[in-house]
Structure 1
């Protein structure tokens, strides 16, 4: 029931929103993030956070709303992936780069699943738009590369080789290939 409610909540919150680089419905992104987390065996709270992870940044939903609807644990995980929009783009991205290094595994996983899906979408858009894809972003290829590379570099910090999910490795390899 938790997962169905989280998905429905996210669908309602993101209704009518489109992704800037592809023009596809925004809700497709959190659904893919949640599916990645589910595929790799994360618990229901983490998967629910996957569905909900962009609601606080991109809609009128608050962390308090998430906690009231889905509990403290889901809210904690969503909050761990939510940027403070009062700060500059560079400050927000630096915070994520620093945070993913020390974050607990469930928050690391949400951050990486989110960034992996963003990167996959970016790579697909690049195939058809070429360098024109960068016009959809506040910062260009170089700054985006700095951000994705920083997250990739710090995402496995503190994890033993056997603790690193395969999608982390996929993310790191794609970042290295795309920005090499």
Structure 2
């Protein structure tokens, strides 16, 4: 909930750093969920960026912009036993970096489309993943949000880990690396790897993985990808359930919605072949 206004701002306003950003998917919008703690920092960050770009008049000294401390909300109580570091007070710089990460991802995924019949712009997926984290998961850690926005850039575009580290720092790069599949493996090997190693992920990577799975399942529930059958849909839900089994205890609200999906679409618990081989 805490950062959704940033994404709404991106959707309706040309970005300071690049081209206009495409709209959020309808199912994941949230226009009125802006906590008080974010109103001041977002406004100040935008004004500061505008002030930097504006030349000072000849007859007066340059305007010096001072950040004022914004009203703070009480920390969000953790009901799921998760890391209290999920909720942090972001600085104006952190907010600007989140906007920068969204712009970066939008350019990297510019020509890509989702597999649904509508050919939805791919950028809607990482934005929706970040939105799930902030709106449903109550996560405001900037490192987690930036990693969510960037989680497919190395795997699916020409982006390198060095580029991620240079632009967003080593912490974000480290989480993105955890979220990136090894393309030297076959598709089946990658699926086995995700199941068998999910529990070894860091807390930050687990959060993004949960939100990523939830958005993919929401999309498949809404509309089957091109050339998918109902049988393949069931297989995907079963596989997602097995991955999530290794992510338990990370974020209660997101896990609860995933569980509702699994009850609705999964078959009885089974031990598929990909449990037998460690890759």
TM-score range, shorter chain: 0.7 to 0.9
Distance 1:89 1:53 in 2: 18
Distance 2:126 2:157 in 1: 13
1:123 aligns with 2:210: no
Distance 1:10 1:111 in 2: 17
Q: CA RMSD in A?
A: 2.0
Distance 1:102 1:167 in 2: 19
Partner of 1:74: 172
Conserved 8 A contact 1:66-1:75: yes
Structure 1, unpaired ranges of 5+: 127-132
Partner of 1:43: 141
Partner of 1:86: 184
Find the structure with the greater CA-based Rg. Answer: 2
Conserved 8 A contact 1:152-1:172: no
Partner of 2:127: 31
Structure 2, unpaired ranges of 5+: 1-95, 268-279
Q: Normalising by the residue count of structure 2, what TM-score does the alignment of the two structures yield?
A: 0.56
1:165 aligns with 2:261: no
Q: Tell me which stretches of 4 or more aligned residues in structure 1 moved more than 6 Å.
A: none
Conserved 8 A contact 1:134-1:141: no
Per-residue deviation, residues 63-121 of structure 1 (Å, max 9, x unmatched): 22111110111011111111011101111111111222221221111011011101100
Per-residue deviation, residues 2-35 of structure 1 (Å, max 9, x unmatched): 1011000000000021101241110001001111
Which is richer in helix?
1
Conserved 8 A contact 1:49-1:77: yes
Partner of 2:240: 148
Conserved 8 A contact 2:179-2:205: yes
Q: Give the number of aligned pairs.
A: 168
Q: What's the offset of the Cα at 1:42? A: 3.6
Q: What's the offset of the Cα at 1:134? A: 6.6
Conserved 8 A contact 1:134-1:140: no
Find the partner of 1:7 among 86, 99, 102: 102
